[in-house]
Amino acid sequence: MRALTKRSATPRDVLVQDLPKPEPGPGQVRVRTEACGLCGSDVHAWNHDTGYEWIRPPVVLGHEAVGYVEALGEGVDPAWLGKRVVPVAIDGCGVCDLCERGFRQICPRRTVLGLSFDGAAAESFVVPEARLVEVDRHMPASTLALTEPLSVACRAVAHIENAAVGPTRVVVSGPGPIGTMAALVLAQRGHDVVLSGVGNDENVRLPLARALGLRTVIAGRDELPFNPTAWVDASGSTAALDAAIAAVLPGSPISVVGLFARTGPVDFNAVTRKEIRLQGSYGSTKVDYRAAADAMAADPAPWPQLVTEISLTDAASALERAAAGHDMKVVLVP
């Protein structure tokens, strides 16, 4: 089978190569891949960036996948055979205190599909039964490949909704895939939303957001259209987090889903005096995957517009496109 393989620790040493089709072990299934999105973590792994040195190549990349279960390992429920599924990308050991409390994605023994073990940017992949989430049989495959990043956005939104009372006025900073999806989910659920970016985002991301019906602003240039009562930061920018702390009304929640290349001082005096609820949001669990599936089912229209399909054969050039930000979400199709 064809598979996008990170062959070594050398930056950008990837190749679509022929590998034997994997066989599922006990408690595992093999999934025939229909589509697999490329994530920022795939780009970082491709570059072998700082923070990704723990990856042990060779490894098949990819975790934003959808496909049909085509083979079962020993002990797997036979009802899974033939079902259309997405795999949970990050999962824990299942037995520690964090996992039992529902935080499987931050378990200290968590593993990541496509980084810790062979992933889904291939014609088939193997994954534990415990990671499977059944999905709609009729929605386009490239749309369902958005389930994982959309689940991350839904988790960030859930932190806002759990902390707020009723509909809120929300700024989402960072108009990449997660931020744009978070803004779409918030708008779908009746919140007043504006998506904030920087000047370079006018090239692709903000025009697309406006085409999807979202309001947008350029940070530092445009005034916000309201006094925000909540904020989602998907930018990983200290400037955006500083702006959020300064702008939100007292008592407001801030959900931080972006990862920061550099961290700076946070104005915790403002956080304290304004009683701001600062909440980290990392990855997602099955609950969030189901919320993502519900969001796509509730309004199927916007999600396909986020996708650029590229053949798995051209995966190396697809990584170049993903790194350059020419597209909102690159999805590989075998």
pLDDT digits (tens, 9 = 90+) for 60-93: 999 999 999 999 999 999 999 999 999 999 999 9
- Which pLDDT belongs to residue 265? 87
Q: What is the mean pLDDT of residues 208-227?
A: 98
Is the model's pLDDT at 258 over the cut of 80?
Answer: yes
- Which pLDDT belongs to residue 262? 82
pLDDT, tens digit (0-9, with 9 covering 90-100), for 51-64:
898 999 999 999 99
CB atoms under 10 Å from CB of 137, counted, come to 10
Q: What is the mean pLDDT of residues 14-24?
A: 97
Q: Is 330 helix (H, G, I), strand (E, B) or coil?
A: strand
Instruction: Characterize the bridge pairing of strands 14-18 and 307-311.
Output: unpaired
- Which pLDDT belongs to residue 274? 98
Q: Give me the chain's average pLDDT, please.
A: 97
Fold of 2-139+300-333: Quinone Oxidoreductase; Chain A, domain 1 (3.90.180)
| 8 Å CB contact between 123 and 70 | no
Angle between helices 286-298 and 177-188 (to 10 degrees): 60
Q: What percent of the chain has pLDDT over 70?
A: 100
**Main-chain dihedrals φ then ψ at residue 222, nearest 5 degrees:** -100, 145
- Which pLDDT belongs to residue 261? 83
**How does residue 131 score in pLDDT terms, banded at 50, 70 and 90?**
very high
Distance CA 94, CA 100 (A): 7
- Which pLDDT belongs to residue 13? 95
Q: Where do the domains of the chain lie?
A: 2-139+300-333, 150-280
The DSSP code sequence of 48-79 is T-TT-TT--SSEE---EEEEEEEEE-TT--GG
Distance CA 173, CA 209 (A): 13
- Which pLDDT belongs to residue 166? 76
Is the model's pLDDT at 325 over the cut of 90?
Answer: no
Q: Choose among 150, 118, 120, 115: nearest CA to 33.
A: 120
Q: Choose among 179, 155, 181, 65: nearest CA to 112.
A: 65
CB atoms under 10 Å from CB of 242, counted, come to 15
- Which pLDDT belongs to residue 165? 76
Q: What is the mean pLDDT of residues 89-113?
A: 98
Q: What percent of the chain has pLDDT over 90?
A: 95
pTM: 0.97
Q: Which one-letter amino acid corresponds to residue 244? A: A
CATH code 3.40.50.720 for 150-280 = yes
Q: Name beta bridge partners: 215.
A: 194
Q: What is the mean pLDDT of residues 177-193?
A: 98
- Which pLDDT belongs to residue 326? 82
